[in-house]
Amino acid sequence: MNGCSALPHVALNAQGGRAYEASMEEGFDPTMDLQEALQGLSLQPKCDVALTITKTTLLGIFLATRNFRRFLLKDMVQKVWKLKSRVHIDNVGDNIFKFSFENKEDKDRIFKQRSWSFDGAHLILKEWSEYMGLQEVDFNFTTFHIQVHGLSRIFLPQDMTFQIGDRVGIVIISSFNL
């Protein structure tokens, strides 16, 4: 018998959300609720582990009417992103994916070069702070490129490009290709 088998196990009962203990110890109260069972529990944050994970991780959501599959996405990503190392992709929600890069430089380059789209769907990429849960990541804003063609030269000064860009969002950088 190993040392772990004597430890009590707390789980949720599907009928009424009550906690129950899986061990056979005497004195167990099956009416104890989960809040009572977890009272006094103290978790210590592992910031060093979280920082290691988040500095090589991006979260992304596809704006699409269909669901993307992780295996097909992995093939597309490897071809389009031209990574130096591998990326591990996990589906963490409805069209929400966690991209874990083996190489931090790959992660930084992919994030800096956004916007990305795959198979006609825009991918919103976000960096993930070690202090945030997955559900706290805000996918309401995105970065994308705008190209305006056919303007007369009198409309090309940089302040005018900012006026155009400000109509749809916040301009991060403006460049000219004449």
Q: What is the mean pLDDT of residues 33-56?
A: 69
Q: How many domains does the chain have?
A: 3
DSSP alpha helix (H) spans, the chain: 34-38, 47-54, 70-81, 104-112, 158-166
The answer to the question of residue 157 being in a domain is: yes
Quick one: pLDDT at residue 15? 41
The answer to whether residues 127 and 56 belong to one domain is yes
Most confident of 9-18, 68-77, 155-164: 68-77
CB atoms under 10 Å from CB of 77, counted, come to: 20
The answer to whether residues 39 and 52 belong to one domain is no
- pTM for the full predicted model: 0.64
The answer to whether residues 113 and 152 belong to one domain is no
Q: Determine the structural domain holding residue 24 and report its residue range.
A: 1-43
The answer to whether residues 25 and 66 belong to one domain is no
Q: How far apart are CA 172 and CA 178, in angstroms?
A: 20
Tell whether the model's pLDDT for residue 99 goes beyond 80. Answer: yes
The answer to whether residues 39 and 72 belong to one domain is no
The answer to the question of residue 131 being in a domain is: yes
Quick one: pLDDT at residue 1? 41
The answer to the question of residue 141 being in a domain is: no
The answer to whether residues 129 and 59 belong to one domain is yes
